[in-house]
Structure 1
Amino acid sequence: MDVVSDAISAVRVGRPSFDRVRVGGDWCARLDSYDGAGFHVVLKGTCWLLPDGGAPVALGPGDVVLLPHGTGHVIADSPADAAAVARAVPFSLWSEPAPPPIPSVAEREVEMVCGKYRLDRSHAHPLLAELPALVHLPDRACRRPELRSAVDLLRVEIDERGPGSAVALTGLLDLLLVYMIRGWLARDTGGVWSAVLGDPVTSAALRALHSDPAAAWTVDRLAAEAGVSRPTLARRFSALVGKSPMAYVTWWRLTRAAALLRDTGDPLAAVARRVGYGTPYALSHAFRREFGTTPGRYRAAAATAANANPRTQ
């Protein structure tokens, strides 16, 4: 595993949900804030996205938008004024069944895929926490080819709905999330985690740790993986990541344990072994110190939350 994959795996819950939307004419729909990440893919036509508290964003064919913190927003045929936004139709009523295009304005027809990823923000990796409220990856810009390919495959799969399409669509939407975050990292050269992953020493230590969090890590061993001295690793890692190497090791092991408790039925002893704790007691003690609850109570609360959100399971 790598840092980006692990960061996504730690917070992703259930399956992404989505609607395909076809609309024309004058229209305006609101999506309230959401405990997850929203996304839009414009397949055809042009429209506008108006994030709460932000400036309107023009969207064109092939554009992709990620709202990683579930920011409430409006999508509309134009950069609507405040009165129009106030009259926006709730998206949940407007999208199913998708309104047909209006023949008299066929040239203004818009097709989109609009969806959500459900996230457990209680243990979000700082890489994801650093994402801005809105990530816009325009098709017309120099975009990563894998993101363009994912959008093209998504369009084909939605159009054809062949055998296995349910699995294919879920996989493509998961790929889309990875590619959107990659696209942001490639552009956000001034961000903390762009610098972390771009630094050869720190990134080498992180790759080693994330590939085997249960290993008997020490600062000396991580420094050897990075090919530098212990003081050099400690200094560069702490300066860039904001934690010492061993503090990050402990935090990541417990974050990984939380994800395993949430997503698997593995007994506590197995979870402890997978994240580098010798006994269930040792894991329980560290887990409670970090998260303020026991592993058993955390697992029960996660199961309750999952049952309350059946659409994304």
Structure 2
Amino acid sequence: MDVVSDAISTVRIGRPSSNRVRVSGSWCTRLAPYDGAGFHVVLEGSCWLLPDGGSPIALGPGDAVLLPHGTGHVIADSPRDARAVEQAVPFERWVGAQPPRGPRAAGGEVELLCGKYRLDRSRVHPLMAELPTIVHLPNRVGCHPELRAAIGLLGSELVEQRPGSCVAVPSLVDLLLVYMIRSWVAEDLTGVWPAVLGDPVTAAALRALHSAPSAPWTTDRLAAEAGVSRPTLARRFTALVGRPPMAYLTWWRLTLAATSLRDTQDSLAAIARRVGYGTPYALSHAFSREFGTTPGRYRAAAADGSPAVR
């Protein structure tokens, strides 16, 4: 596994949802704050995104926008004033009121892909936490071809129910999330984690840790894997990531353990072996020290959907 894949996998839960909507005339709809992430892609026409507490953003054909922290927002045909925004139709009711897809009207239409991802924010990788409130990816010739291909495939799957669409659609929505985050990493020149992944030494060390988190890593062994001296690795890794390599490994092993407790019924012994702890007791002690609760209580709270960690 790589860092981006792991960062997404540990927070993503359930199945994503998506809608393809065609509208015209005057319209305005609101999406309330959401415990997950949302996205919009403009397939045709243009519209405006009005985020809570932020400035309006114009969206044109082919533009994609990701709201990774579930920020409440309005999408509309124009940059409405505050009173119009307050009267925006809730998104679920707005989508449900849309007429069946018929022949295209002559101009003035907007066609959108809208979707949501469910995320567990109790154990968020710092890469995901660093994502800005809005990731706007304008449609530019030659940029992000994989993202454009995924948008095209998803849009065609949502036009009509075809054999296999129940598998294809959520898989393509998940793929869209990967491509949008990958595009942000490639374009952001000031973020911490784009710099981390762009540094060959730190990136090599992270690839090694994420590929084999249960291996008996030491700083010396990790430095050899990255092709540098122990002091060089410790200095560069700590400066960029914000914690020493072995401290990051401990946190990541415990995060993986929390994910397994949430998503599986595996025994604590099996989870301990998988994440690099010799005994269930050793894992339980480290887990309680890091997260302020026992593995058993964490699993029970996750099953109930209630928070149990500090």
Unaligned runs of 5+ in 2: none
Match of 1:77?
77
Amino acid at match of 2:286: A
Match of 1:150?
150
State how far apart, in whole Å, the 2-side matches of 1:103 and 1:206 are: 51
Match of 2:86?
86
Unaligned runs of 5+ in 1: 307-313
| 1:297 maps to 2:297 | yes
Match of 2:287?
287
Match of 2:30?
30
State how far apart, in whole Å, the 2-side matches of 1:83 and 1:194 are: 39
Corresponding residue SS for 2:55: coil
The 5 Å alignment of 1:22-171 reads 22-99=22-99, 106-140=106-140, 142-171=142-171
Amino acid at match of 2:143: R
Shift in Å, 1:23: 1.4
| 1:238 maps to 2:238 | yes
**Contact kept? 2:50, 2:57, Cα under 8 Å:** yes
State how far apart, in whole Å, the 2-side matches of 1:274 and 1:70 are: 32
Match of 2:210?
210
Amino acid at match of 1:275: V
| 1:16 maps to 2:16 | yes
Match of 1:174?
174
Match of 1:310?
none
1:177-213, Cα deviation, whole Å (9 max, x unpaired): 0000011011102111111001111000000000010
State how far apart, in whole Å, the 2-side matches of 1:77 and 1:101 are: 19
Amino acid at match of 1:223: A
1:252-302, Cα deviation, whole Å (9 max, x unpaired): 000011111111121111111110001111111111111111111111111
After the TM superposition, which of the residue ranges 138-147 and 54-63 deviates more from structure 2? 138-147
State how far apart, in whole Å, the 2-side matches of 1:301 and 1:9 are: 20
1:34-91, Cα deviation, whole Å (9 max, x unpaired): 1111111212221110001111111122211100010000000001111110111111
Amino acid at match of 1:44: E
C-alpha spacing 1:103/1:8, structure 2 compared with 1 (3 Å):
closer
Aligned length: 306
Amino acid at match of 2:204: A
Which runs of at least 4 in structure 1 moved beyond 2 Å after TM superposition? 97-106, 140-143
Match of 1:278?
278
C-alpha spacing 1:239/1:103, structure 2 compared with 1 (3 Å):
same
Q: What TM-score do the two structures reach when normalised by structure 2?
A: 0.95
C-alpha spacing 1:46/1:173, structure 2 compared with 1 (3 Å):
same
Q: What TM-score do the two structures reach when normalised by structure 1?
A: 0.94
Identity among equivalent pairs (%): 74
**Contact kept? 2:20, 2:159, Cα under 8 Å:** no
Shift in Å, 1:167: 0.6
Corresponding residue SS for 1:298: helix
Corresponding residue SS for 1:118: strand
Shift in Å, 1:161: 2.4
Shift in Å, 1:32: 0.9
Amino acid at match of 1:162: R
**Contact kept? 1:3, 1:207, Cα under 8 Å:** yes
